Every structure is written in C-alpha cells, then in structure tokens.
Amino acid sequence: MKTHHAIATLAVALAASVAAPAAHAQAAGNLREVIGQALAGAGIGKENTVLVQRMLSVKPGAPFSAAFDPLLAARAADPRTRLTADPECSRQKLPGNDPFAVNERCLYRFGEPTGQDATAVQLRFSRQTGKFSYLHRTRSFDANRMADNKVPADAAREAALKLARSFGLPPEEIDTKFVQVLDLNVAAEPVQQAPGAAAVGERIVKRAEVHVRVPRRLGDWPVFDSGFMVAFGDDGSGRPRPSRLNGRWPDFGLLLPAVQSDEVFSDADLLARMVEDLSPEIRLPLDPKTTRAFIAFVQAAEFTKCAVTGDGGDDDAGGAGGHTRPQDLLRLFVPAVVFFAVPPDPGEMKETKLAPSTGVLQRSYPLIRLGARLCDGSV
Amino acid sequence: MKRSPARFRIGMAAAVLASVTALSGVARANHLEARMIGVSTWDAECPANTLTYWDDMVRFWYDEMPSWGWYHKAGATVDGNLNATKFCDPDFNGSCQDYNYIDDADAVMIFMHGFDAGDVWGGALRRNNGVGSDCNITFPQGAGADVIHAGDVDLEWMHMSSCNSLDKDNLPNSWRAFEDPVDSPSNHNRLHGLTGFHGFMWIGGCCDDQYEDFAADAHWVSVKDAWMDNMYVTGINGSSTQCPVSYAVGTNASDCFNRIDHERYNNVFSDPGTIGYYCYYYYPGCDPEGEGPF
C-alpha cells in the first residue's frame, strides 16, 4: 500500500506540473464563471442598494445580553439544581492593552467538576459574545444503563423552542423554517482482528439522544454562524429532558452611517474581489453543484480588526467621536455574501480515492465597503 | 518506548490533583499535554491546496485547553518539515518519531487534508522527506511503517481535523490506530478516544467557536458529547453539512460504552487492556460533501 501511495502521488504531481499552465488558465475562467453563477443564484445583481437598505432596516428583537438571566435559564433546564453564581463574572480584565476587554466568560455551576459520576451542572456564558453552554453531566446518555430514547421529534422541537425563550432568545429571531431535529445514535461492533477474519459478537445500536438545532434569522435573511442546539435525553417516559444546550447569539447591531449608495458593491465588484481572494486557494475548476452563495448577516469582526488605542474611547459603539472597541465588532453585523465551495485538489485530477480532499471552504464578503470608518467611531 | 512508570505517575498525579481539586474546587496543575500538529500551506514537494486558515482554526482548541487547569500547551507543529516521521512508530521503522510528536501528548489535534484511502483514512503531508518518502500518512489496515499506531507511549485523545477521518465505511479499521501491535500487548498502553468526520469538514472562520467550545465542554461532559454537540455544522439552509463522529474501543461492548460515555479530559480511565469492540456516536443520515449519508 505504501509504495502504491507514493507512486500515485508522484504521478499526480508530475501530471499536475505538466498540465499546470493550462489547468490554471482553465481554473481562472471557471472560477469567475462559477462564482458569478453562485452570486446570481443568491440574488446579487448589478444594483444592490435596495437589497442592502432592506437588510439594514430589519428590526432585531430584545438583545440576548439584556434578556438572559442565568439562574432562570438553568431553572428552565432543570428546576431541581441551584447553580452557584460566579463571583468573578465580568470583573476580570483580559490580558492586553485594551482597557475595555473584560473577561465576561461567566461560569455558574453546581457540583464537582472532577470524578466520574458526580452530579455536576455548568452554565457558561458571555453576554459580550452571546455564547452560552449548559451542561448537565449526569443527564447524558449512558448506553450501558439506558434504553433507547423514545422522545418524539415534535416533542423535542417544541421543548427546544420553549427553552429558547427561557434563555432569552428573541422569538422573532428564531428561524423556525430550518429547525433540524436529529437523532444521535450509538453503535458498538466487534473488531475483526485480521482483515477478512470473522468478527465475534453482536452489533448493538441505540437511539441515544434527540438533538434540535435552531438557526437565527432577521427579516428574510439568516444570521450566519448564529443559532442554538439542545440535546434531549428521555426522562424515562418518553418526554424530553435537556442534557446539554449551547448557542451563539450575539447582540445585533448595524453599521447604519456606513450605508451610502456608492458604497454598496455590485455583482462585478464582488466577483472581482472574490476571484482575487480565492484564486490562490482554488487552482482547479470548481463544481457548480457544490458551490453556493447566500446573502446573510455576518459579524463585522470577521472582516475587520480595529487597532486598539487604549485612550478610553466611547462606550457607545454607535456614537460619534469615539472609536469602535474590538469587542463591539462582535455585536455589529454586516450584510454579506457567505460563500461555500469544495475546491478540487490537484490529486483529484487522477480518478483515484488516494487523492486528498480539500474540505468545505467557507468565506464571507461584505456587501458594503468597510474601512477606517468602522474603527473610527463613525459606525 | 515503554513509559508505563510515567503513565503511573501521571495517574497518581491525577489522583492527587483530584483530591486537591475536591478541596479547592479548581485544579491548577496543568500537568497534561496538548499538542496541535498539521499543515495549512502545501508549497513544498507534496501537492495539495493551501488553506491558510486551518491552523488558526485549530489554535482555538489549542489555546482553550490550558484554561481549565489540566492541560498545558506542549507544542504546535505547523507546516515546516511536516513528514511521515512525526506520525509513525519506531517499532516499524527506526527513524519514526511519533513518541516525540503525536504520541508524546495526552491530547493531540491533527489537521491536514484527508481522504478515503480505501478502507482507512489517509492524510496529505507537506514533505515527503520522511519515512517512506511518502506524501501521505494513513491509519493502519494492519501493521506498517508509515501508518499511525498511537497510544503506546502517552496519547489518550486523538482529534482529527481532517476530511474523511472517520468515514462510515472505514470504521471497522479505525480501532487499529489505537494501539501499537508490538508494544501495546506488553505495556498495555492504548489510545482512548478518536474524533473525526464522516465526509468533508469545514475550514474557515465559521468554526473558531466550535473548536474553542469543544475544548471547554470536554472538561465537563464526555469528550464524545463535546465533539458531537460542537462539531455538527450546516451551511445556510442546511447545506454542506459537517458530520462529526466520536469513536472509542473497549474489551467488550459494555467497556467501550462506559469509556465513550464517561471519559472526559479530566476524567481519564486506565488504558484499554484489550480491544474486542469499537463503539461510536454518529448522526444517522448525516449527509456531508464527499461521502454518502451516514
């Protein structure tokens, strides 16, 4: 097998080097064409000002940072445990020279973090980043002790949406259209000690948990990389019992003053930027079937990192005359194109499974021009 | 190669630490080792697409690991002279040095382009100047030189940030990476857990939080729960799903279930004495790019 791998790889490398100029030229043309198709499919046209203005007129719900009450949230997941509040919550300054960078990762807990069977519950959250994680250790599935989970999908879905309200997530931002209800299964199988030998023992499969995954939406557009999930166990009578819950739901702010018609990108602008950005990493023709683009809200932090001046600045990220603190970028969202592609690898030119795959490449591109204004307090 | 005494000391240290922790509430020893090792830039002999963000994404896991009082950052090996030598076991070729790299840690995350090499995972290295003069490294179908036999020195957790690393059709062979067939029968050192993906995975800023939260959660609930909860990702409107799989071994099915359900980064059992069963958590029907539905 080793020799075959080496030969195959060298053959691919040789073939790739001979065919490189032609392949690259073909790839450049293909990249432009396929990205153009993806942008058109996403509804990006020559004139996107109306689209952007519509996106910037969405009305977010009550912010998670204000609505979230950790003790109420934990009680909704399990009324019997009483979490101990974190005395350091929001008080510890992060390393670095940003005077506003306070560690808001709070850790409320019940029970002992070590040991195998100790009842232990953790609620970890940050109002700043909108991240939260509820972990109830002893409610996780135990394949040796527990029977198949019999929680119906509909019951799990309903319970998850109810928990979302208890965790302070605004109902108007919950994308009920794309809720996923997934089984989590566990299986055990006997090993074959030698290839081709008979395995001794039975195969066991159990339905362990039901996972509900809920994306976030504002108006007609998804909020990329924002949502929550709940893992449900079975309380013994087929009713859902939350074992774990996590989410990313940063407060939603917009870059209103940055919106001018001449600062909204056209499809040609986007295409040029995307081709320039992606061509070093996509060297062979893309498959249109696995290339997709979506219009969505994306955190400004994904595009821009503001320099820290450390001079105090303005507490209000939207106020004039201050500067935008790095952590505020987490709360600012930008209308953007979210792009997915599966770039072929040079090895895939040869029709063999020994070629590496390149995975799903994801990039985001703002629909409006971002620059110094984002960091100078004029956002 | 045999480091049972060291393993014993680690076990003792963990026991002492657990006692201290029970009193103080927080462990601060950071006595366990976390490593990251892999490739983002393929600009040497081995042909593959460069994806420069990969190591940044994995670093979110690596940087989070010391935050919980059990692990320290023992080394990040990124690009450079990344060849098969750092992954293979010296029992099969004297030049192999996995004991200085992947098997020197307690938890390692390996990142590189992956592929389905027939019945096992294969990964795309950066250099072919190591053992076997090969651009690939694979999980074993049997004993071999340029394959991964982990756990016989130190490693407990091997996390694969790599496509096709736990494809459904390859699961019957994945357990072979959990031991060194030469050393493990005598020193009883074996890997505890392997996490990876069925089909293609994602690379991008999308997934920073997932890697960070996985590291945090796995100190509180099982490594399996932390991996499955955080690493399932879908694109917008349910497209391009990333399908995580978590995998363990045991003497029998019950032993395997016990391990995969209860072992955490800070609750590590003794090494599996023998491997009679493998077990795994998965999302049935999960449909990624690059593979059919699980």
Residues A175-191 pLDDT 10s: 999 999 999 999 999 99
Specify the pLDDT at position A178: 92
Pairing of strands A240-248, A253-254: unpaired
**Alpha helices (H) along chain A:** 2-18, 20-42, 49-55, 64-67, 70-77, 153-166, 267-278, 372-375
Residues of A in contact with B191 (CB under 8 A): none
Window from A90-94, A168-172, A316-320 with minimum mean pLDDT: A316-320
Q: Which whole-number Å values give the CA distances from B176 to A248, B172, B184, in the listed order?
A: 37, 9, 11
Q: Round to whole Å and give the CA distance between A128 and A133.
A: 14
Residue percentage of chain A with pLDDT more than 70: 73
Q: Residues A39, A337: contact at Cβ < 8 Å?
A: yes
Pairing of strands A102-103, A106-111: unpaired
- Rounded to a whole number of angstroms, the distance from the CA of B2 to the nearest CA of chain A is 23
Could you tell me if A16 lies within 8 Å of chain B, comparing CB atoms? yes
Q: Residues A217, A173: contact at Cβ < 8 Å?
A: yes
DSSP-derived 3-state class of residue A208? strand
Specify the pLDDT at position B211: 96
CA B165 to chain centre: 10
For chain B, positions 49-68, list CB contacts with chain A under 8 A: 49-52
User: Residue B244's closest CA among B231, B253, B235?
Assistant: B231
Q: Exposed, middle or buried, A296 (CB in 10 Å: 0-12/13-18/19+)?
A: buried
Q: Is the pLDDT of residue B196 over 50?
A: yes
Specify the pLDDT at position A64: 94
Strand partners, A241: A233
Digit-coded pLDDT (tens) for A275-299: 999 988 887 888 898 899 999 999 8
CA dihedral A112, A116, A119, A121 (to 10 degrees): 70
Could you tell me if B138 lies within 8 Å of chain A, comparing CB atoms? yes
Specify the pLDDT at position B221: 95
Residues in chain B: 294
Q: Is the pLDDT of residue B287 over 90?
A: yes
- 3-state DSSP: chain B helix, strand, coil percent, rounded to 5? 35, 20, 45
What are the DSSP calls for B198-226, one per residue? ES--EESGGGHHHHHHHHHHTTTS-HHHH
- pLDDT tier for residue B10 given thresholds of 50, 70 and 90: very low
Pairing of strands A131-136, A240-248: antiparallel
Q: Is the pLDDT of residue A65 over 80?
A: yes
Specify the pLDDT at position A4: 36
Specify the pLDDT at position A169: 97
- 3-state DSSP: chain A helix, strand, coil percent, rounded to 5? 30, 25, 40
Specify the pLDDT at position A361: 85
Residue A317 CA neighbour count, 13 Å, CB half? 22
Mean confidence (pLDDT) of chain B: 88
Window from A82-91, A219-228, A337-346, B14-23 with minimum mean pLDDT: B14-23
Q: Which whole-number Å values give the CA distances from B247 to B95, B168, B219, B278, in the listed order?
A: 29, 11, 18, 7
Specify the pLDDT at position A111: 84
Q: Is the pLDDT of residue B245 over 80?
A: yes
Q: Round to whole Å and give the CA distance between B91 and B88.
A: 9
Specify the pLDDT at position A28: 74
User: Is A188–B49 a contact, with Cβ atoms under 8 angstroms apart?
Assistant: no
For chain B, positions 25-44, list CB contacts with chain A under 8 A: 25-27
Q: Is the pLDDT of residue A224 over 50?
A: yes
Sole residue written with tokens 């690009």: B79
Sole residue written with tokens 């942008």: A39
Window from A246-255, B18-27, B240-249 with minimum mean pLDDT: B18-27
pTM, full prediction: 0.87
Q: Residues B176, B142: contact at Cβ < 8 Å?
A: yes
Digit-coded pLDDT (tens) for B65-124: 999 999 999 999 999 999 999 999 999 999 999 999 999 999 999 999 999 988 999 999
Q: Which residues contact A45 (CB under 8 A, 6 or more apart)?
A: A266, A267
Residues of A in contact with B236 (CB under 8 A): 215, 222, 224, 294, 296, 338
Specify the pLDDT at position B1: 34
Q: Which element (helix H / strand E) includes A115?
A: none
Between B24 and B128, the higher pLDDT residue: B128
Specify the pLDDT at position A87: 82
- pLDDT tier for residue A231 given thresholds of 50, 70 and 90: very high
For chain A, count helices (H), then strands (E): 8, 13
User: Residue B60's closest CA among B240, B250, B230?
Assistant: B230
Digit-coded pLDDT (tens) for A130-141: 999 999 998 999
Window from A15-29, A33-47, A286-300, B11-25 with minimum mean pLDDT: B11-25
Q: What is the average pLDDT across A62-74?
A: 94
Angle at B22 between CA B107 and CA A91, to 5 degrees: 80
Between B194 and A101, the higher pLDDT residue: B194
Q: Residues A41, A267: contact at Cβ < 8 Å?
A: no
Could you tell me if A280 lies within 8 Å of chain B, comparing CB atoms? yes
Q: Round to whole Å and give the CA distance between B217 and B230.
A: 9
DSSP-derived 3-state class of residue A330? helix
Digit-coded pLDDT (tens) for A323-353: 555 556 667 899 999 999 988 876 543 334 4
Window from A96-105, A258-267, B29-38, B75-84 with minimum mean pLDDT: A96-105
Specify the pLDDT at position B89: 94
Strand partners, B241: B288
- Rounded to a whole number of angstroms, the distance from the CA of B104 to the nearest CA of chain A is 24
Q: Is the pLDDT of residue B22 over 70?
A: no
- pLDDT tier for residue A29 given thresholds of 50, 70 and 90: confident
For chain B, positions 90-119, list CB contacts with chain A under 8 A: 112-119
Q: Residues A114, B22: contact at Cβ < 8 Å?
A: yes
Q: Which residues contact B18 (CB under 8 A, 6 or more apart)?
A: A114, A115, B27
Sole residue written with tokens 């821009």: A304
Specify the pLDDT at position B27: 47
Specify the pLDDT at position A351: 39
Q: Round to whole Å and give the CA distance between B8 and B4.
A: 6
Q: Round to whole Å and give the CA distance between B171 and A191.
A: 10
Specify the pLDDT at position B19: 36
In the chain, the amino acid numbered A261 is S
Q: Which whole-number Å values give the CA distances from B147 to A1, B88, B156, in the listed order?
A: 10, 5, 18
Q: How many CB atoms lie within 10 A of CB B16?
A: 12
Q: Is the pLDDT of residue A116 over 50?
A: yes
Q: Exposed, middle or buried, A369 (CB in 10 Å: 0-12/13-18/19+)?
A: middle
Task: Using only the alpha carbons of chain A, give its radius of gyration.
Answer: 25
User: Is B237–A201 a contact, with Cβ atoms under 8 angstroms apart?
Assistant: no
Digit-coded pLDDT (tens) for B130-181: 998 889 999 998 766 779 999 999 999 999 999 999 999 999 999 999 999 9
- pLDDT tier for residue B226 given thresholds of 50, 70 and 90: very high
Residue percentage of chain B with pLDDT more than 90: 74
Q: Round to whole Å and give the CA distance between B161 and B139.
A: 14
User: Is A144–B254 a contact, with Cβ atoms under 8 angstroms apart?
Assistant: yes
Identify which of B238, B253, B285 has the shortest CB distance to residue A204: B253
CA A196 to chain centre: 41
What are the DSSP calls for A286-311, one per residue? PPGGG-EEEEEEEEGGGT--PPP--S
Q: Residues B138, B166: contact at Cβ < 8 Å?
A: no
DSSP-derived 3-state class of residue A171? helix
DSSP-derived 3-state class of residue B174? helix
Specify the pLDDT at position B5: 33
Q: Round to whole Å and give the CA distance between A179 and A368.
A: 30
Mutate to test the interface with A, among B220, B227, B252, B259 (most CBs of A within 10 A): B220
With CA atoms as reference, the chain A residue closest to B265 would be A114
- Rounded to a whole number of angstroms, the distance from the CA of B272 to the nearest CA of chain A is 14
Q: Exposed, middle or buried, A25 (CB in 10 Å: 0-12/13-18/19+)?
A: exposed
Q: What is the average pLDDT across A234-244?
A: 97
DSSP letter at A94 equals P
Q: Residues A315, A102: contact at Cβ < 8 Å?
A: no
Sole residue written with tokens 């026991």: B15
Q: Which residues contact A262 (CB under 8 A, 6 or more apart)?
A: none
- Rounded to a whole number of angstroms, the distance from the CA of A248 to the nearest CA of chain B is 9
